[in-house]
Structures are given as structure tokens and as C-alpha cells.
Structure 1
Amino acid sequence: MASGNRPALEVTGLRKSYRSAGEDIAVLRGVNLAVAAGESVALTGESGSGKSTLLHLIAGLDAADGGEIILDGVSLSELGDAGRAALRRDRLGLVFQQFNLIPSLTVSDNLTFQSRIAGRHDPKWHDELVERLGLAHLLKRYPEQLSGGQQQRVAIGRALAPKPLLLLADEPTGNLDEETADEVLALARDLVARTGCGFLMVTHSARLAALLDRRVNLHAGVIA
């Protein structure tokens, strides 16, 4: 974890198993991980190693069997469904490979969606995101009218609009060609640094992982 910065995320002894074919399959066997505010961390590991499971647990989309996840000093295990949803809304930015934009909303409305429901819409920051992401000429378009790279820019802008404590990204460039992936990741890193939030990105690419501050590898259910 970057020295001197407060922790955005602290994961300790995290365990998760799933029931399959009548037996319990342990996916996470005691994961320990910390991400500081302003730090970018790549999470790598072979397919099926539990990377997406870990991100879903951190986001409060699923419950762990044991261990602790602390976001901004708050333990997720102490929160109910409503509390986890509020934390996800107010303190987390989520970016996925599939973009997950709202088809019926324009680019402009997609960008402001998260910040408005969080009650933290900042017009000046919105304008900066539009400029930095190169979206000014696309604000009236709908997601289906955009390229993959443009959609992912909107998704990143939407996630960062409320200035979250932590940005979680699950293979955010997986559907993009190499040049566009590099461009999108560079923009994400720059904007993350601008907000001072932590950034945890799942990726299969060693090349992209090397562009972040630090790389951790998930193997056999633990962080190597």
C-alpha cells in the first residue's frame, strides 16, 4: 500500500466457498489486500482464480463466509443489504467489461446518473470529465450510437462523477483493441489520480498490469 495515504480498502482473511455438485468449493481461502487512496493496483490471476468473486465481495454484491472488508473505516459485515447498497452508491465506482450503460439515456444523462443518485453532482467536475474523456461532441447520443471505446469512456466518467473512495474495474478493457485499451486505461489512471481515489482493476493482461502502481496475484485462493 502506498505510504502516507489513508487506506481506501482493507481486506483481511477473506473466505468464500460455493456449493457445486454436492460439495463446497473454496474460491477464496484467506485473502489479505489493502489499497491506499490515490493508489492503482492490478489484480491478476488465472481464469477461475476468484478475481471477480473478490471484486463482487468488495462491492457488497455478495457476502463473504468469513474475514473482513473495510471501506472508509466501515466494515461491510456490519451492514445489511440497504447499508451495502448505500455504500456502493456513495463510496464506490464500478466499471465492467460490458459497459452497462443505460440504453434509454443519452451520454450526458449516463454520465450524471451515479452522481445524482448519490446526491453529489458537481457541474464543474462533470465538465472536466467531459473534456478529459473527449465526450463533448457525443453528449446527445445514445449508447448504441457509440463505439466500444467511447462507451467505456462514458462508463468510467459515470463511475468517477461522484468522486468515489474506490474505483473497482473488472476487465474494463477486455472488449477493446490494444490501442484503445491503452488509451482508456491511461485516462482512467489520470482521472483516478485527479480525484485521489483508490483504483483496483482485474486484468488478465500483464502489459496493462505493469502500467499501474502495483500488481498483486490471486492464486489458490490467496494473494501471492
Structure 2
Amino acid sequence: MLDVQDLKKSYSGPQGQLPVLDGVSLRLEAGSSLALMGESGSGKSTLLHLVAGLDQADSGAIWVAGQSLAGLDEAGRAAFRRDRVAVIFQQFNLIPSLRVVDNLAFQARLAGAVDSTWLDWLTERLGLQALLHRYPEQLSGGQQQRVAVGRALAVRPPLVLADEPTGNLDEESADQVMALLLELVQQAGSSLLMVTHSNALAARLDRQLILKAGRVHGSAV
């Protein structure tokens, strides 16, 4: 599902080029999950952004569901993000002017892949039926992140990327969102790559890797 080969990425700074990723390679099989851990600044979010096509690597290769990201222009990367991956952010990133019902269906509509039966099931399983006509500002943090999870999975993407998806939630809400995310990823048949600082959350995924000094190291838990 995901094949990352010898990925390198640097950014320009006052002291010159700052290497963030220095030859990262990893694989994620279809239907499996992988937790990516490491200290702040270790390159976790950078790697996620590269896999999502939000940024471009200096060198190396990324393949997602059989598609190479190499050589894609901006339109090609946008189509890739629409059809092949879904990203769940720490900050929810819901559209404030849209009601819950429209936020849930947003990516599916962009992809031309609205499945009303699947959306109805997601809405029920996420406990959002009574909230469909509210706006994001009228929801708690946990409710907003459940909407973000539903939006990501509405298209049943081959790959779900999650960047600290419970980082802004209290412990109880975080546990609820994480349990739902793992269940629904499995139901959708998606693979999951998740960045987290939590050993407890990482242990709930199939595999764990650590990024340190721009390189991948072994299991964290």
C-alpha cells in the first residue's frame, strides 16, 4: 500500500541547508497500521506531508496504492490527495461555514464518490446523527475530531494519514476517537500511518517505528 524508498528532504535556514529526512525507507502493507514516533523536529510531520503530496522530497521515491508521486504536478498531487489518501490533522481542519453533514461528505463529493449508505453508517457509528445540522463552532473538540474522522473515511481511501489525531483532546475523548478510528479504518479496508507521541496509542497499531535524526529506527513499544 505504501512504499517509501531512501527519502531525503532538507529546508533552507540561516545556517544553510537543514536536513530533516536522511534516507528514510519504510513499507506499509494493505489493511495494516503503523505508528510513527519520535521527538519534536525528528521529521515525522514532514514525512507525512511528503506521503500526502503536500510537499516534494529532494530525492527518493514514494509509491501509494501502486502510484508513484514522482513527477506529479500540482494538479496531479491534488487529484492524488482527493482519490488515494485522506489526512486527519490535530487541528480538525473542518470548514467553519459548512454544517456537519456537509463537512462529512466534503471529500467524497470532491472525488465524485459519495456512498450514501456508507455515509449513513459512518454517521451513526460516530454518534453524529443529532449533530448533522450544527456548525463546527457548536461542537466540542471530540465531536469535531469525530467529524474529521468521518470525512476522511467517507471515500474509503486506500491510505489514511493521521498527524497526532488526538493531540488536542482530553484523555477520555482521545480514547473514544482512537477506538473509533481504528475500527472504521478496518471497516473501510484502509491502511493507517499515524504520527503520535503516545506509547499507549502507538501500541494499539500493528507496528511502531521511531524517527530519530532523520532516520528510521526499530520498534518503540
Distance in 2, matches of 1:24 and 1:85, equals 28
Distance in 2, matches of 1:178 and 1:10, equals 33
**Structure 2 length-normalised TM:** 0.97
- Quote the residue 1:187 is aligned against: 180
- Is residue 59 of structure 1 aligned with residue 56 of structure 2? no
Identify the match of residue 199 of structure 1 among 192, 203, 211.
192
Q: Can you list the C-alpha shifts for 1:108-141, whole angstroms capped at 9, x where unaligned?
A: 0000000011000000000010011000010010
**Structure 1 length-normalised TM:** 0.95
Distance in 1, matches of 2:22 and 2:15, equals 19
**Residue 65 of structure 1: how far off its partner (Å):** 0.3
The alignment of Structure 1 onto Structure 2 pairs a total of residues equal to 217
- Quote the residue 1:4 is aligned against: none
Distance in 2, matches of 1:182 and 1:41, equals 18
- Quote the residue 1:12 is aligned against: 5
SS at 2:53 equivalent = coil
- Quote the residue 1:74 is aligned against: 67
Identical columns (%)? 63
- Quote the residue 1:83 is aligned against: 76
- Quote the residue 1:41 is aligned against: 34
Quick one: which amino acid aligns to residue 36 of structure 1?
E
**Residue 102 of structure 1: how far off its partner (Å):** 0.4
- Quote the residue 1:159 is aligned against: 152
- Greater shift, 30-39 or 110-119, is seen at 30-39
Quick one: which amino acid aligns to residue 96 of structure 1?
F
Q: Can you list the C-alpha shifts for 1:163-205, whole angstroms capped at 9, x where unaligned?
A: 1010001011000011111110110000000111110110011
**Residue 22 of structure 1: how far off its partner (Å):** 3.8
Q: Can you list the C-alpha shifts for 1:86-121, whole angstroms capped at 9, x where unaligned?
A: 010111111001000000100000000000110000
Runs of 4+ in 1 over 2 A off after TM superposition: none
Distance in 1, matches of 2:56 and 2:169, equals 31
Q: What runs of 5+ residues in structure 2 fail to find an aligned partner?
A: none
> What aligned pairs does 1:81-120 form with structure 2 within 5 A after superposition?
81-120=74-113
Distance in 1, matches of 2:158 and 2:136, equals 26
Q: What runs of 5+ residues in structure 1 fail to find an aligned partner?
A: 1-7
Distance in 1, matches of 2:174 and 2:29, equals 24
Distance in 2, matches of 1:37 and 1:185, equals 20
Distance in 1, matches of 2:30 and 2:172, equals 28
Identify the match of residue 161 of structure 2 among 168, 178, 183.
168
Distance in 2, matches of 1:198 and 1:34, equals 11
**Residue 78 of structure 1: how far off its partner (Å):** 2.5
- Is residue 215 of structure 1 aligned with residue 208 of structure 2? yes
Distance in 1, matches of 2:150 and 2:30, equals 18
- Quote the residue 1:3 is aligned against: none
